[in-house]
Amino acid sequence: MKAHFEKVTPGSASLLAFERVDLEFPFYWHYHPEFELTLIVDSQGQRLVGDGIGDYGPGDLVLLGANLPHSYRSGPVKTAEPKCHRAVVIQFREDCLGPEFFKLPEMQPILRLLQRSACGLSFSHTVAGQAAAAKMMKFLSCSPAQRIVELLEILVLLASEPNPAALSTDRVRPMCRVEDQQRIDAICAHLSEHFDEEINYARLADKLYMDQASLCRFFKRATGRTMTAYVNELRVGAAAQLLTTTDLSVLEIGFQVGFGNYSNFNRQFKRIKGFGPRTLRQEFRSHGEPDFDVPPKMGAGEFNSRMRI
C-alpha cells in the first residue's frame, strides 16, 4: 500500500493536539514525520499500521513512530441516528523540545520508547496505558505550557510499560507517489465495500487499468499481505462486531460477512484472532461487554501479538 505523505502543521506550537470527530473514519493510508498518539474515545473498526491489522474500540491507545504508514477504518454504525466517531490525537516531532532534549540521560527511557515505536506500540490494555489515556482525555483543556508537561508525563507513563504490543514489522516503508496513493485508496475502498461478496479481482484490475498479476504484486509489495488475506481480515473484523452486537448464529454471521463455508470461517477467524468465533461470543456473554478486541480471560500482550500479520 503506497502511503500518502501528510504534512502536519502545528503552527507556532511545538506539538499538535486535536479531537477528531467524524461520522466515519474512512480509510486513508498516510504517514508523516511526527510521532502520533491516538486514543479512541468512541469508535470501533480496524486499525492498519504498517503490515499489521487489528480491531480497535473505545480505549484503544497507540503510539506510532515517525513515517510509519497507518490508517483507521471505522466499522458500520447500526443506530437509527447518525453517531460520530471520536478520537484524541497528539502529534509531535522528536525535536519538539529541542534537538538534544530526549538525548539527555534523564530522558533515556523515553528515547527508547520512541525508538521502539517505529513499528507502532499498543498500550490499550495496560495499567500505564489506562493512566496515559486518562491524561489524554484532559489534554485539550490544558494551556499550551501545561500540554508540554502533560505530554512528558504521558511518555513517562508509557515508557514504564515493559511489554507494549508491537503492531507491525519493519517491512512496510512509506512511498508517496500521488498516483500510487490514489490507486491504493481505490483498491481498499473497493475491498471494503465488497468484502462480504465474492471478490472479482480481474474486474478490479481492469478498473485500475492493470493486469491481475500486477495488481496482486502491487498490493503485496505495498502492504506485506495478499489481497485475499486482507479481505479475510476485513471479514473477520466484521464478524467480531456481529458476534458481540447481534444474536445471529455463528454460521449465519460467517455467511453474512462473505465466507462460503463454516470451516473456512472458523479457520480464518482462529488464524487472525488466535481463538474461535464461539469463544469470543462466550466470553462476551459471560463477562458483559469487554474491551472490543481482547476477551477477558486472555492476556492483552498474548492477544495483540496474535493480531499481527
182-204 residue pLDDT tens: 787 788 878 888 899 999 999 99
117, 65 in Cβ contact below 8 A? yes
> What is d(CA 86, CA 58) in angstroms, rounded to the nearest whole number?
9
The C-alpha cell at 277 is: 468465533
Sign of CA dihedral 11, 13, 16, 21: negative
Local confidence band at 287 (pLDDT 50, 70, 90 cut-offs): low
120-174 residue pLDDT tens: 999 988 999 999 999 999 999 999 999 999 999 999 999 999 999 999 876 555 5
Long-range contacts of 12-16 (CB under 8 A, 24+ apart): 13/144, 13/147, 14/92, 14/96, 14/97, 14/148, 15/90, 15/91, 15/92, 15/96, 15/147, 15/148, 15/151, 16/89, 16/90, 16/91, 16/92
Ordered domains of the chain (ranges, CATH): 4-166 (2.60.120.10), 178-307 (1.10.10.60)
223-282 residue pLDDT tens: 777 899 889 988 998 898 888 888 899 999 999 999 999 999 999 999 988 899 999 888
Residue identified by cell 500510487 is 180
